[in-house]
């Protein structure tokens, strides 16, 4: 693996993405990550509005993910080794299933295609536990379609996917169903053992750690992490 990494991240303002951005910017100068990770030379955040973060290694590019030419230009400029996708919305927020698909499927696939054309070595994305093209649940089916689309692309170091169950973190926006589920999950975490590990709630920062470890430390190849393997990757389970 190239010792110096150039990162592109989409969704850097979100729950997982902002934690990932923070970890990468904290560790990038000294390589002072939990172990001897390669140095992160630059981080380009593709955003739709400014993040309000100032860091000498952070470059912000405002893009419309539906504009393939603009996306390609941004990726060409960044010359990324690793591209992370933490994009996502909810059907309620997007307003329709079609609008949800645009954010959770079309945008990540457009990003991945532009990343491959720009020479990225690997692509990493957050999808979800239950992702399955054949699922009868719309959300899981869209996530499955995304995974299938990504696996058609031949990144030299592969596509790495993480499958969180419910994400634990602090949102400015209110999502009452998520808040209720978080409370229930916290109370019942110990029940999620064995085959039920995959449904155990996980903190936003833990998913971010897992993604960063997957990029910097895992061997090349397509891999999907969920349940215990996801917690292990984040350095949290034994």
Ligand X SMILES: NC(=O)c1ccc[n+]([C@@H]2O[C@H](COP(=O)([O-])OP(=O)(O)OC[C@H]3O[C@@H](n4cnc5c(N)ncnc54)[C@H](OP(=O)(O)O)[C@@H]3O)[C@@H](O)[C@H]2O)c1
- Which residues in this chain contact ligand X in the complex, by CB under 6 A? 11, 13-17, 48-49, 65, 86-89, 103-104, 126, 128, 164, 166-167, 178
Nearer to ligand X, 3 or 187 (CB): 187
Q: Residue 32 or residue 98: which is nearer to ligand X going by CB?
A: 98
Choose between 66 and 156: whose C-beta lies nearer to ligand X: 66
Q: How many CB atoms lie within 10 A of CB 180?
A: 10
- In whole angstroms, how close is the CB of 31 to ligand X at the nearest point? 26
Please report, for residues 28, 109, 137, 146, 208, the alpha-carbon distance to residue 70 in angstroms, rounded to integers and kept in the order given: 27, 15, 33, 21, 27
CB of 82 or CB of 104, closer to ligand X:
104
- Cβ-count burial 61-96 (b if 16+ within 10 Å, e if not): bebebeeeebbbebbeebebbbbbbbbbbebeebee
Which of 26, 28, 24, 21 lies closest to 47, judged by CA?
21
Alpha helices per DSSP H over the chain = 15-27, 68-78, 91-94, 97-101, 107-117, 138-151, 176-188, 204-216, 228-233
Least Cβ distance, residue 127 to ligand X (angstroms): 7
Q: In this chain, which residue has its C-beta nearest to ligand X?
A: 14
CB of 51 to ligand X, least distance (A): 9
Residue 81 or 165: which CB sits closer to ligand X?
165
Task: In angstroms, give the least distance from the CB of 234 to ligand X.
Answer: 15
Q: CA–CA separation, 188 vs 12, rounded Å?
A: 30
Closest separation in Å from C-beta 99 to ligand X:
8
């Amino acid at each position: 693996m190239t010792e110096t990494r150039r990162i592109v991240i989409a969704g850097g303002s979100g729950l997982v993405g902002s934690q990932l951005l923070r970890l990468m910017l904290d560790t990038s100068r000294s390589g002072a990550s939990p172990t001897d990770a390669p140095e992160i030379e630059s981080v380009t955040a593709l955003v739709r509005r400014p993040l309000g973060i100032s860091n000498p290694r952070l470059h912000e590019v405002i893009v419309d993910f539906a504009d393939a030419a603009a996306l390609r230009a941004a990726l060409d400029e960044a010359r990324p080794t690793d591209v992370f996708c933490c994009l996502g919305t909810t059907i309620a927020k997007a307003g329709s299933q079609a609008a949800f698909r645009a954010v959770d499927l079309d945008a990540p696939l457009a990003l991945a295609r532009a990343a491959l054309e720009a020479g990225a070595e690997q692509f990493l994305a957050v999808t979800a536990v239950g992702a399955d093209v054949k699922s009868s649940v719309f959300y899981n089916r869209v996530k499955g379609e995304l995974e299938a689309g990504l696996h058609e692309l031949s990144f030299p170091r592969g596509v790495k996917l993480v499958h969180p169950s419910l994400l634990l973190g602090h949102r400015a926006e209110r999502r009452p169903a998520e808040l209720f589920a978080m409370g229930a999950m916290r109370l019942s975490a110990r029940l999620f053992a064995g085959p039920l590990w995959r449904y155990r709630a996980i903190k936003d920062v833990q998913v971010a750690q897992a993604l960063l470890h997957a990029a910097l430390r895992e061997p090349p190849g397509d891999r999907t992490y969920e349940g215990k393997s996801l917690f292990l990757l984040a350095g949290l389970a034994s």
